[in-house]
Amino acid sequence: MNPGKPRILRIINRFNVGGPTYNAAFLTKYLEDDFESMLIGGEKQESEASSLYITENLGLTIRVIPEMTRSIGIINDIKAYLKISKIIKEFRPDIVHTHASKAGAIGRIAARRNKVPFIVHTFHGHVFEHYFGKAKTSLIMAMERYLASFTDRIVAIGNAQKNDLGKRFKICSENKIVTIPLGFELEKFSESVDAKRSNFRKTYSLNENQVAVGIIGRLVPIKNHRLFIDVLSDLKMRDVPVKAFVIGDGELKEELIKYARSLNLSVGVDDSDIVFTSWIKNVDEAMAGLDIVALTSRNEGTPVSLIEAQATGKVVISTDVGGVKDVMSDGESGILCPDNDKSKFCESLEKL
């Protein structure tokens, strides 16, 4: 330990591909001159892609807590709490900074019980709508209000989210919330774009006249990939020449493939309507190869894929939810559509 630097313990839900890993890893790496940091988190689910390559590429040493899983489980949650408490006692952080819901609950309680001087929590989106039923959502909001009561600062990653946390859902007072947008390394998205585009399109047998539209993210209910597939089906019936790419993995992958086939969309690589690629680590190459990047989520914090798409010079189309408006301008960098509106989304995508 370095006695001259403040110590920060950062805790994320799990090391799966997504915004929280990038955010926590970048903070750990690029604030290392000012803070002594430790990054810990849960293990990815079987259906998810690991994000450990992100921390490895940054030269970070992390600790994985297998018991900190996505779902609520009393035994595992207690074990995770005890492990985090032990780490706090050994590392003696001046600040505990938690990211997202599970880490935010277990981590903040452990920090308070172990008398950590300063507690910070970052919301990477929230689960207050379109995730659960009314009773469970009310319980979650009550828990978040309790946790916020002893949290020194709440970080919102966009102005829309700050409004949700402070005014709309009243999780805490607005003066406790600070807006800090996510930071990204975007240089690679504007480098060698033509070469990357050629390589991607060669891999998937695309000629330059074919329009490639992609959606990038976890294959989970809140991302609403069914809307994307429904729109593709309608476009096919209208003889609109589009080839679609679903980039990502998750619990709904097999279900979505079956759903696409039920709508007479061919699934595969060559001569298919839609390609399920799984995660592509060199996402900058995928962005270069696509013509349009879509997002159909019903709730979003900061949509990373839309930021990366615009950094590559691509046009985007998205549902108007959460923090999407914070990162794109309707009619300028792309088109915003009402939430879950197939007709409008289809019409807008056809125009593009």
Q: Which of 126, 145, 179 lies at the terminal end of a domain, its last residue?
A: 179
Q: What is the pLDDT of residue 3?
A: 66
Q: Express as a percent the part of the chain with pLDDT over 90.
A: 82
Same domain assignment for residues 104 and 11? yes
Q: What is the CATH number of the domain that holds 67?
A: 3.40.50.2000
Q: Which of 153, 179, 205 lies at the terminal end of a domain, its last residue?
A: 179
Q: How confident is the model at residue 131 (pLDDT cuts 50, 70, 90)?
A: confident
Q: How confident is the model at residue 12 (pLDDT cuts 50, 70, 90)?
A: very high
Number of domains present in the structure of the chain: 2
**Is 328 within a domain?**
yes
Its pTM stands at 0.85
Same domain assignment for residues 201 and 312? yes
Same domain assignment for residues 11 and 135? yes
Q: Which residues contact 120 (CB under 8 A, 6 or more apart)?
A: 95, 96, 97, 98, 151, 152, 153, 154, 155
Q: Say whether pLDDT at 73 is over 80.
A: yes
Convert 263-293 to b/e letters by CB count within 10 Å (16 or more is b). bebebeeeebbbbbbebbeebbbbbbbbbbb
Q: Say whether pLDDT at 2 is over 80.
A: no
**Is 2 within a domain?**
no
Average of per-residue pLDDT across 133-152 = 95
* Rg (the chain; Cα; Å): 21
Domain membership of residue 42 as a residue range: 7-179
Same domain assignment for residues 214 and 312? yes
Answer yes or no: are the C-beta atoms of 111 and 92 closer than 8 Å. Answer: no
Segment 218-270, tens digit of pLDDT = 999 999 999 999 999 999 999 998 999 999 999 999 999 999 999 999 999 88
Segment 33-70, tens digit of pLDDT = 999 999 999 999 888 888 999 999 999 999 999 999 98
Convert 34-55 to b/e letters by CB count within 10 Å (16 or more is b). ebbbbbbbbbbbeebbbbbebb
Q: What is the pLDDT of residue 70?
A: 83
Convert 118-147 to b/e letters by CB count within 10 Å (16 or more is b). ebbbbbbbbbbebbeeeeebeebbeebeeb
**What value does the mean pLDDT of the chain take?**
94
Segment 75-122, tens digit of pLDDT = 999 999 999 999 999 999 999 999 999 999 999 999 999 999 999 999
Same domain assignment for residues 94 and 222? no
Q: Say whether pLDDT at 178 is over 90.
A: yes
What tokens does 184 get? 């990204």
Same domain assignment for residues 232 and 308? yes
Q: What is the pLDDT of residue 1?
A: 58
Q: How confident is the model at residue 127 (pLDDT cuts 50, 70, 90)?
A: confident
Q: Which of 179, 198, 213 lies at the terminal end of a domain, its last residue?
A: 179
